[in-house]
Amino acid sequence: MSFEVEKTVSLRNYNALALDATAEYFCRLCSLDDVHQALAFARANKLTITALGGGSNVVLKNTLHGLVALVELRGIRHRCVGDDVYVTIGAGEDWSSLVALSLRNHWYGLENLALIPGSVGAAPIQNIGAYGVELCDFFVSLQAIHTATGERREMDAKDCEFGYRESIFKRRERNNYLITEVCIKLSTQPNNRWQYPALRDALEAKLGDASAAQITPQLIAKTVADIRRAKLPDPARLPNAGSFFKNPLLDEQQLARLMVDEPQIPVYPAYNNLSKVPAAWLIERCGLRGYRAGEVGVHERQALVLINYGSGSAAQLLALCEHIQSAVEQRFGVCLEVEPRIYGSF
């Protein structure tokens, strides 16, 4: 398909929340040549570029000015070095399909990250994570193009400054780079990680008593997929962007204060003496699980997920977000940080 820029395009089908935003200009990037043409178009017309992957972790306000570039760069290649398998993946590949392919090929590591919606190129931006594993555990490097200068750059894990649902692409270099390719290191030897409480419980329910000998990467992937299907709504049926808030990290004092009211709350140790507590628990304790405000609401099985019931707008969704944040702040003195990236203007 030849490179083409369209004007005034609805992005409703390109974001998992099904928000009816409009791109001032829109193009698809299927090759590196397309990327360079898009950069040239943006430069010639003094436009900013917004790269869009699977749209599964974004909130789009009404209008996205400039050029919205849908990243559809494909291709997967691999190289074996002993037991290690270096897999290099085009940014436009689907994450969930990559996990399935890696398991079929007996390349292990990604099983806990099964069924996460979105594209491979978006994965490093928020350092996707689930069931005790994060992308940064396998990450080797990525290729990115600086949208303003066209300069190509290889970045390793240190350059990406990964944290919990964080990277340099959400902070200092926000919107400055277009990720074209990601390289990860998997292994032909299973290294099963199943101690995350919800995963361990589900495995025990399946196996009787989860003993390490019975657990395979395939079983972990299947179990993770089952948990996700049971808890998280399918964006194709109930538009949503996964977790809408990060789980807050509390220092010792904040945690001690919270534990007075909520002695039962699960606490996960994090780095720098901080503790992570589930935002979903706090939202639920404010009575907001299943809360609905017109066309938007809080999912009834997972309070961290906000839903667009059909014709909800970004304004309604962000109003609901503020309502939740202030309820949690007032009751617990804890500030909830929005997890997806917000683009555009009203």
Buried b (16+ CB within 10 A) or exposed e, 24-35: bbbbbbbbeebb
The nearest distance, CB 203 to ligand EPU, in angstroms, is: 14
> From CA 241, how far away is CA 296, in angstroms rounded?
13
Q: Is residue 304 near ligand EPU by the rule CB under 6 A?
A: yes
For ligand EPU, the binding residue among 247, 254, 308, 313 (CB under 6 A) is: 247
Pairing between β-strand 63-71 and β-strand 49-52 as defined by DSSP bridges: parallel
Describe the crossing of helices 217-231 and 95-104 by its angle, rounded to 10 degrees. Answer: 150
Q: Is residue 310 near ligand EPU by the rule CB under 6 A?
A: no
Q: Is residue 287 near ligand EPU by the rule CB under 6 A?
A: no
Kindly tell me which of 22 and 127 has the beta carbon lying closer to ligand EPU: 127
CA angle at 261 for the pair 260 and 262, rounded to the nearest 5°? 100
Q: Is residue 294 near ligand EPU by the rule CB under 6 A?
A: no
User: DSSP characters for 147-188?
Assistant: TTT--EEEEEHHHHT-BTTB-GGGTTTTTTEEEEEEEEEEES
Instruction: Give the count of alpha carbons within 13 A of 282, CB side only.
Output: 27
Nearest to 345 by CA among 16, 13, 15, 21: 21
> From CA 281, how far away is CA 219, in angstroms rounded?
28
Q: Is residue 22 near ligand EPU by the rule CB under 6 A?
A: no
Active site residue 165: yes
Q: Segment 151-170, which members bind ligand EPU (CB under 6 A)? A: 165
User: Within a 10 A sphere around the Cβ of 192, how many other Cβ atoms?
Assistant: 15
How many positions of this chain bind ligand EPU (CB under 6 A)? Answer: 20
For ligand EPU, the binding residue among 107, 131, 162, 291 (CB under 6 A) is: 131
Options 14-22, 93-101, 170-178, 302-310: segment touching ligand EPU (CB under 6 A):
302-310
Which two three-digit tokens encode residue 285?
A: 């304790």
**Residue 256 amino acid letter:** A
Question: Which residues, other chains included, contact 158 with Cβ-Cβ below 8 Å and sequence gap of 6+?
Answer: none
For ligand EPU, the binding residue among 102, 127, 243, 313 (CB under 6 A) is: 243
Active site residue 243: yes
Kindly tell me which of 39 and 125 has the beta carbon lying closer to ligand EPU: 125
Kindly tell me which of 309 and 311 has the beta carbon lying closer to ligand EPU: 309
For ligand EPU, the binding residue among 101, 278, 316, 338 (CB under 6 A) is: 278
Kindly tell me which of 66 and 235 has the beta carbon lying closer to ligand EPU: 235
Describe the crossing of helices 217-231 and 197-207 by its angle, rounded to 10 degrees. Answer: 110
The total number of residues written for the chain in this structure: 346
Q: Is residue 110 near ligand EPU by the rule CB under 6 A?
A: no
Active site residue 339: yes
Q: Is residue 95 near ligand EPU by the rule CB under 6 A?
A: no
Options 85-93, 151-159, 201-209, 275-283: segment touching ligand EPU (CB under 6 A):
275-283
Kindly tell me which of 39 and 303 has the beta carbon lying closer to ligand EPU: 303
Q: Is residue 200 near ligand EPU by the rule CB under 6 A?
A: no
Q: Is residue 28 near ligand EPU by the rule CB under 6 A?
A: no
Catalytic residue chosen out of the listed positions 56, 96, 102, 243: 243
* Burial bucket for residue 282 (CB in 10 Å: 0-12, 13-18, 19+): buried
> From CA 335, how far away is CA 59, in angstroms rounded?
19
Catalytic residue chosen out of the listed positions 102, 111, 134, 165: 165
Which two three-digit tokens encode residue 339?
A: 């997890």
Residues recognised as catalytic: 165, 243, 339
What residues make contact with ligand EPU under the rule CB under 6 A?
130-131, 165, 198, 231-232, 242-243, 246-247, 266, 278, 280-281, 284, 289, 302-304, 339
